[in-house]
């Protein structure tokens, strides 16, 4: 156990184990989940009878999802085998007995397979290729056939129904899935129909009783629906934005009489259970939950929180008693090393901006304003060792949800349309002013940090009010909107159409809001840029050009490029270097008050 009151070492904040996709196995007294460590992922089978855990999906290894996402595996209906997506891009089936895995498809490795789901009759599986094609493979004969008509730009999360139908989520550019998406249904006779709401729809399922269910934001909030009406209408989100495959934020009971769902309460999470017949909602547990799975009298989930290291848990649905099956971090954390944030509202002329404040045990006037990426996203209150690391060094940390963030309803999320680089920057500046007015930090000792879209917003804040910040740290930041629109990966290549405006008619707006074209306004604040040279989302040239141009006009920019890294740093030595490099940079540019 670590000693409380000491600075947390960076070694404790990196590495460890990532846990994803816990799922109860039907007909078997067991649960399986994906565990990833040191670049290797396996499917761990946990037996409730005390039998030692076993490992599957090792040859080839399973292609793991991330965090609350998934789509990497699904059990057969009798629980005797698992079907999973391998690192080679193909679909495989393996017996729980540990026999060698059986290859079912031959698509990879140049194509990306995801979103596997096994049919209720156990005779086939559906899956997605390249987020664009829906396929089905029959286990007998291994015959694979494409199901979609090719008329959607993106497809995700197919679900095979008891009636032989298959439904999936689809959307077309320039819309992003949280803006406008639909459910496509392929009936057993091969005909196809579409189901649309007002805005976003995700996690479309068909229950055993024939009812359809999904998550939709027609009411202004992402709520669970059953059929053509919300199962529950409330001003809380029941899911996050669709940034990838396999989100499972709700689960119906086996008899369809109740539904467990996740609730976002200003960034805090809660697991709830609704009985639709009575309207009763039971608040089961605090903490951000995801990957829900309900079989028999058990509900499994991934659970995390500010003081809760990520864990796989199982609830007894009769008493809602909770048992922990696995914990992600390898080392222990003292309770006093972790704190829950305080909800904050920042007043602006156009409405309140939501934020969360993590207070240091011994604050000394230093403040980090830390911006999430996306920008259509949110840092929920999850286990984040990096925040504990900086808190242990005396920093208060303010995490704003600028307009455009998720978790606060569709209107708040859509407020950034056409205003990226404008409204988010204004909200960040307002958050910094509020922090200084309330004594959470001082202008000469405040740092703004952001990655990706958050780095773009951070640069905008520094350019517009440099006197607010002593320094800025930018991780793989967007610096050139025109270049981003042309060269980003397929999923986000049209994102700027809604965030800024369609090209070419809004080209001047792209230039006005791009930091790379206004480096003279960045020359007053020291900048640290960290970027991977294999980034497919934001090309590393964006950071190189920004650094060169800013230094040419008298700026103080330090740039470090990590070889072989993409959009985020995965290699352990580079993760450690990131912490140390930022700490060294801030020590040189932000004065520490005496604690004598």
> Each residue's pLDDT tens digit in the chain (596 positions)?
334 458 999 999 987 789 999 999 999 999 999 999 888 899 999 999 999 999 998 899 999 988 898 999 999 999 999 999 999 999 999 999 888 999 999 997 788 899 999 999 999 999 999 999 999 999 998 999 999 999 999 999 999 999 999 999 999 999 999 999 999 999 999 999 999 989 999 999 999 888 999 999 999 999 999 999 999 999 999 999 999 999 999 999 999 999 999 999 999 999 999 999 999 999 999 999 999 999 999 999 999 999 999 999 999 999 999 999 999 987 788 777 899 999 999 999 989 999 999 999 889 999 999 999 999 999 999 999 999 999 999 999 999 999 999 999 999 999 999 999 999 999 999 999 999 999 999 999 999 999 999 999 999 999 999 999 999 999 999 999 999 999 888 888 899 999 999 999 999 999 999 999 999 999 999 999 999 999 999 999 999 999 999 999 999 999 999 999 999 998 999 999 999 999 999 999 998 865 43
- For residue 343, the model assigns a pLDDT of 97
Query: Which residues on neighbouring strands pair with residue 324, listed in sequence order?
Result: 313
- For residue 593, the model assigns a pLDDT of 66
Type and span of the H or E element at 137: strand 133-138
Distance CA 69, CA 88 (A): 20
Distance CA 382, CA 309 (A): 8
Type and span of the H or E element at 305: strand 298-305
Predicted model pTM: 0.94
- For residue 595, the model assigns a pLDDT of 46
- Per-residue burial over 400-418, b if 16 or more Cβ lie within 10 Å, else e, is bbbbbbbbbbbebbbbbbe
Query: Which residues on neighbouring strands pair with residue 182, listed in sequence order?
Result: 170, 196
Nearest-10 crossing angle of helices 453-464, 423-437: 70
- Report residue 275 as tokens: 């009985």
- For residue 592, the model assigns a pLDDT of 81
Q: Which fold has domain 342-589?
A: Rossmann fold (3.40.50)
Q: Does domain 16-248 have CATH number 1.10.275.10?
A: no
- For residue 329, the model assigns a pLDDT of 82
- For residue 66, the model assigns a pLDDT of 81
- For residue 51, the model assigns a pLDDT of 93
- Name the phi and psi angles at 37, rounded to 5: -160, 140
**Closest Cα partner for 224 from 266, 263, 278?**
263
**Closest Cα partner for 226 from 297, 274, 180, 182?**
274
- Answer positive or negative: Cα dihedral of 100, 102, 107, 113: negative
**Closest Cα partner for 185 from 218, 221, 147?**
147
Answer for the pair 101, 92: CB distance below 8 angstroms, yes or no. Answer: yes
Answer for the pair 111, 130: CB distance below 8 angstroms, yes or no. Answer: yes
């Amino acid at each position: 156990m670590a000693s409380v009151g000491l600075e947390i070492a960076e070694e404790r904040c990196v590495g460890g184990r990532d846990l994803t996709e816990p799922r109860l196995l039907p007909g078997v007294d067991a649960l399986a989940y994906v565990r990833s460590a040191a670049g290797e992922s396996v499917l761990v089978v946990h037996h409730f009878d005390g039998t030692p855990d076993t490992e599957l999906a090792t040859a080839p290894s399973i292609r793991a999802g991330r965090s609350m996402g998934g789509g990497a595996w699904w059990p057969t209906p009798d629980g005797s085998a698992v079907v999973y997506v391998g690192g080679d891009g193909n679909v495989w089936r393996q017996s729980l007995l540990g026999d060698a895995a059986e290859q079912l498809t031959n698509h990879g490795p140049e194509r990306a397979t995801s979103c596997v789901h096994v049919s209720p009759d156990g005779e086939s599986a559906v899956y997605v290729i390249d987020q664009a094609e829906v396929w089905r493979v029959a286990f007998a004969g291994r015959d694979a056939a494409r199901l979609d008509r090719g008329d959607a730009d993106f497809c995700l999360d197919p679900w095979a129904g008891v009636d032989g139908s298959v439904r999936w989520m689809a959307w077309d550019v320039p819309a992003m899935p949280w803006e406008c998406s639909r459910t496509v249904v392929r009936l057993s006779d091969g005909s196809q129909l579409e189901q649309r709401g007002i805005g976003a729809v995700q996690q479309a399922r068909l229950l055993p009783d024939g009812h359809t269910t999904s998550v939709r934001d027609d009411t202004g909030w992402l709520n669970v629906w059953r059929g053509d009406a919300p199962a529950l209408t409330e001003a809380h989100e029941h899911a996050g934005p669709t940034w990838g495959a396999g989100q499972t934020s709700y689960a119906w009971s086996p008899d369809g009489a109740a539904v467990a769902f996740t609730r976002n309460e200003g960034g805090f999470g809660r697991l709830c259970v609704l009985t639709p017949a009575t309207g009763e909602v039971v608040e089961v547990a605090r903490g951000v939950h995801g990957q829900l799975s309900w079989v028999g009298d058990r509900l499994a989930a991934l659970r995390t929180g500010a003081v809760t290291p990520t864990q796989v848990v199982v609830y007894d649905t009769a008493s809602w008693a909770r048992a922990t099956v696995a914990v992600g971090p390898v080392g222990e954390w003292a309770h006093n090393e972790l704190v829950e944030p305080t909800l904050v509202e920042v007043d602006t002329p156009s409405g309140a901006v939501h934020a969360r404040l993590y207070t240091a045990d011994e604050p000394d006037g230093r403040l980090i304003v830390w911006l999430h990426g996306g920008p259509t996203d949110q840092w929920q209150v999850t286990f984040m060792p990096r925040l504990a690391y900086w808190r242990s060094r005396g920093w208060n940390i303010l995490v704003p949800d600028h307009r455009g963030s998720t978790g606060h309803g569709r209107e708040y999320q859509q407020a950034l349309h056409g205003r990226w680089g404008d409204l988010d920057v204004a909200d960040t500046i307002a958050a910094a002013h509020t922090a200084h007015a309330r004594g959470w930090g001082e202008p000469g000792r405040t740092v703004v940090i952001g990655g990706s879209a958050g780095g773009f917003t951070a640069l905008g804040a520094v350019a517009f009010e440099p006197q607010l910040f002593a320094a800025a740290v930018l991780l793989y930041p967007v610096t050139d909107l025109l270049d981003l629109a042309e060269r980003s990966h397929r999923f986000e290549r049209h994102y700027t159409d809604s965030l800024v405006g369609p090209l070419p008619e809004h080209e001047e707006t792209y230039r006005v809001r791009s930091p790379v074209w206004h480096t003279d306004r960045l020359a007053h604040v020291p900048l640290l840029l960290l970027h991977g040279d294999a980034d497919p989302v934001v090309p590393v040239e964006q950071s190189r050009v920004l650094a060169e141009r800013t230094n040419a006009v008298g700026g103080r920019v330090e740039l470090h490029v990590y070889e072989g890294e993409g959009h985020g740093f995965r290699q352990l030595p580079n993760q450690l270097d990131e912490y140390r490099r930022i700490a060294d940079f801030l020590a040189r540019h932000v004065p520490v008050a005496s604690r004598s």
